[in-house]
Amino acid sequence: MAYRAAPIKIAKHVSSLLKGRLLKEPPVWLPVVQSIPPGPSVIRSQNEEINVSGQTDIEKKLFSTHKTTNRQRYSQKHLRTPPPRPRAIVYPEDKLRKQFYKDHPFELARPKVLVENELGINRTDYSKLMLDGMHPSQIDGEAVIKYQLHLMTHENMTERQAYAKATAEFYEIRAQQEEEERKAKEKMNNALNNLQSKRKWTERGIYLEERALREGQIADAQF
């Protein structure tokens, strides 16, 4: 196995080889290694005396004191700059919506009409709670809230007055809707009862016909 000298002894080992005339010419790297000898390990350690930052001693002192003062300044919580936060997006309908659904929680359970027309989702005219051509089932809580806001902005009503007027009209529309649903249900029940009564007479006719056929068969068997 060949001799492997430590990195720091390479220059001395090559010099001894030259003196013993085992090497005819010195290597090109020998003067460099003699002037800048390698460390004891292949991994060179950082020299603390070398100024890598390029700052003078006075500049280092100034920057070090500046950092400590900043750290002390922001160490206290009440002096810290609060992080930037987006502003809350608030609409005037939010307060009205909160009050309405607090008084009418069951309106949230009603099915909502999702028809995109002038009387549905894209409705912009709230001069009246129920426009011409609308069905009472199309009036929901959001329509009442928009109508209340219209009364406050265009008719200069207070929030309480607009709420009282909007809810009063809303109750009338709901009563009208319930009356129509009651009549439709009653009409449907009457139609079902008529069908059931007709079915009874039909079943009775079939029964009489079958009985007559059986009696006829018995009479034929006797002859």
119-132 confidence digits (pLDDT tens): 666 788 899 999 98
Answer for the pair 63, 55: CB distance below 8 angstroms, yes or no. yes
- d(CA 153, CA 166) in angstroms, rounded, equals 14
Residue 6: alpha-carbon gap to chain centroid: 65
pLDDT at residue 69 greater than cutoff 60? no
pLDDT, residue 190, reads 83
pLDDT at residue 66 greater than cutoff 60? no
- d(CA 161, CA 145) in angstroms, rounded, equals 13
> Which is more confident, 99 or 3?
99
pLDDT, residue 155, reads 92
- d(CA 144, CA 124) in angstroms, rounded, equals 13
- d(CA 70, CA 72) in angstroms, rounded, equals 5
Which pairs count as long-range contacts for 177-185, CB under 8 Å and 24+ apart, including other chains?
177/136, 177/137, 180/136
- d(CA 134, CA 119) in angstroms, rounded, equals 7
- What's the mean pLDDT when you consider all of the chain? 81
Contacts of 92 (CB under 8 A, 6+ apart): 149
The amino acid present at 144, given as its one-letter code, is V
- Residue 160: helix, strand or coil by DSSP? helix
pLDDT, residue 171, reads 95
What pLDDT, in 10s, does the model give residues 103-117? Answer: 999 998 888 767 777
User: For the chain, what are the domain ranges?
Assistant: 1-40, 97-188
Answer for the pair 148, 166: CB distance below 8 angstroms, yes or no. yes
Torsion of CA 129, 135, 141, 143, to 10 degrees: -40
What pLDDT, in 10s, does the model give residues 157-215? Answer: 999 999 999 999 999 999 999 999 999 888 888 887 777 666 677 777 788 888 888 88
- d(CA 52, CA 162) in angstroms, rounded, equals 75
